């Protein structure tokens, strides 16, 4: 990439606030590459899943401060991405503050205890729906709000959605998440077909096992595997590159897909799993 490929670009990143998260790494990298960044996050616990790890209002303010310290413009907008009115208000506020958004990173999502984790036959209905609403419906709502404004303004742009290797292969106890992330891939392709004539490209990334506070808070993932020896055995068995991915690596792939260097690419779901998934 050139030194400042996003100079003059207004970007929006959902799920931007969680420390050590993909969204936060993406927001910061976009700023480092020249963009003004609207940082969107729920920034509070989910009412339906209070135990699920989410960012705080302080985390959201902190990422905005980090971006501003780089000499870029930034704005914090709070919204539940599954709520159409909140999404519309957040995108309107971000547009008012920074200008028309032409680079969109849909990162908000996840699953976990109380948030869709468990056997499908015993999973509560509200948990299954919540996982779909946040991961899939939220991606559509944010894409819709941003793309419609690009079209109205007569400008081209790019959208990158975060799917998962779980959108390409089944994982036990993650059925709701797998269904949602598979939906993100087909949503990406449909948006690419529909928005392509307006000069808007839409792609997705499919991370594998990423060392974030969502998956591995305080080394919990390693502990569940039995410590360093268990993690080493897992890596040898599951991941050809023999390591967990870093949030910054996924952010780099997202930013490349949002850049003009990926101008010929749309409708793709790019694996960023260190070889863990190759389909």
Active site residues: 177, 181
State how far the Cα of 198 lies from the Cα of 200, in Å rounded to an integer.
6
User: Quick one: tokens of 232?
Assistant: 């080493």
Number of H helices, E strands in the chain: 9, 7
Alpha carbons 188 and 139: distance in angstroms, whole number: 9
What whole-number distance in Å separates Cα of residue 101 and Cα of residue 82?
A: 20
Pair 10, 102: CB distance under 8 Å: yes
Rg (Cα) of the chain, in Å, rounded? 18
H helices present in 99-158, as ranges: 125-132, 138-153
Q: Which helix (H) or strand (E) holds 39?
A: strand 36-41
Q: Looking at residue 247, what DSSP letter applies? A: H
Asked if residue 24 lies in contact with residue 18, where contact means CB atoms within 8 angstroms, the answer is: yes
* Nearest residue to 41 via CA among 19, 18, 20: 18
115 DSSP β-pair partners: 112
User: Do residues 11 and 38 lie in contact, with contact meaning Cβ atoms separated by under 8 Å?
Assistant: yes
Q: What is the DSSP letter of 134?
A: I
């Amino acid at each position: 990439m050139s030194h400042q490929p996003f100079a003059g670009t207004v970007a929006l990143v959902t799920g931007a606030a969680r420390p050590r998260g993909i969204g936060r790494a993406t927001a910061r990298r976009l700023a480092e590459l020249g963009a003004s960044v609207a940082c969107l996050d729920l920034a509070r616990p989910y009412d339906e899943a209070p135990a699920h790890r989410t960012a705080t209002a302080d985390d959201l303010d902190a990422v905005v401060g980090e971006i501003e310290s780089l000499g870029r413009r930034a704005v914090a907008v709070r919204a539940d991405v599954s709520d159409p009115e909140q999404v519309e208000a957040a995108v309107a506020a971000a547009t008012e503050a920074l200008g028309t958004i032409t680079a969109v990173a849909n990162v908000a999502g996840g699953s976990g205890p109380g948030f869709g984790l468990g056997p499908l036959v015993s999973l509560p209905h509200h948990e299954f729906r919540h996982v779909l609403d946040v991961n899939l419906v939220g991606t559509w709502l944010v894409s819709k709000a941003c793309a419609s404004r690009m079209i109205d303004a007569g400008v081209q742009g790019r959208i990158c959605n975060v799917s998962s290797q779980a959108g390409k292969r089944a994982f036990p106890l993650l059925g709701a998440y797998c269904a949602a992330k598979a939906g993100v891939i087909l949503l990406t392709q449909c948006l690419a077909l529909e928005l392509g004539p307006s000069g808007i490209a839409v792609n997705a990334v499919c991370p594998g096992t990423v060392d974030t506070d969502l998956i591995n808070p305080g080394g919990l993932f390693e502990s569940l595997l039995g410590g360093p020896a268990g993690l080493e055995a897992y890596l040898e068995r599951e991941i050809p590159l023999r390591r967990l991915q870093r949030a910054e690596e996924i952010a780099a792939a997202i930013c490349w897909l949002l850049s003009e260097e990926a101008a010929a690419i749309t409708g793709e779901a790019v694996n960023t799993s260190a070889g863990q998934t190759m389909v």
